[in-house]
Structure 1
Amino acid sequence: MSDILERGEPVRVATGFVFTEGPLWHPDGFLYVSDIDARTHYRVSLPDGSKTVVRRNSGGANGATFDAQGRLVLCEQYARRLVRMEPDGRIVTLADRFEGKRLNGTNDVVCQPDGSLYFTDPQLLIPEPERELGYAAIFRLMPEGELRLLTPEMNHPNGLAFSPDGTKLYVSNTRPNPHLYVFDVRPDGGIARGRVFAEMPYVPAEPGATFTTSVGRVRPAAERGGVPDGLKVDVEGRIFCTGPGGTWVWEADGTHVGIIPTPELPANLAFGDADRRTLYLTCRTSVYRLRTKTPGIAAAPPPA
Structure 2
Amino acid sequence: MSSSNRTESSPLAFILTGIPGLSVSSSWMALPLCCLYLLMILGNCTLLWLIKTDHSLHTPMYYLLSMLSVADLGLSLSTLPTMLAVFWFKSTSLLFEACIVQMCFIHSFSAIESGVLVAMAFDRFIAICCPLHYASVLTSSLILKVGVAIFVRGICVVLPVAVLIKKMPFCRSRVLSHFFCLHQDMLSLACGDIRVNSLYGLTAVILTKGLDSLSILMSYMMILRTISSIVSQPARAKAFSTCISHLCALLIFYIPLIGLSLLHWLGKHLSPLTHMLLADAYLLVPPVLNPLVYSWKTKQIRRQILILLCRRGNQQGV
Q: Give the TM-score normalised by structure 2.
A: 0.27
Larger Rg: 2
Which has the larger share of helix? 2
Q: Whose strand fraction is larger, Structure 1's or Structure 2's?
A: 1
Higher relative contact order, structure no. (Cα contacts within 8 Å, ≥ 6 residues apart): 2
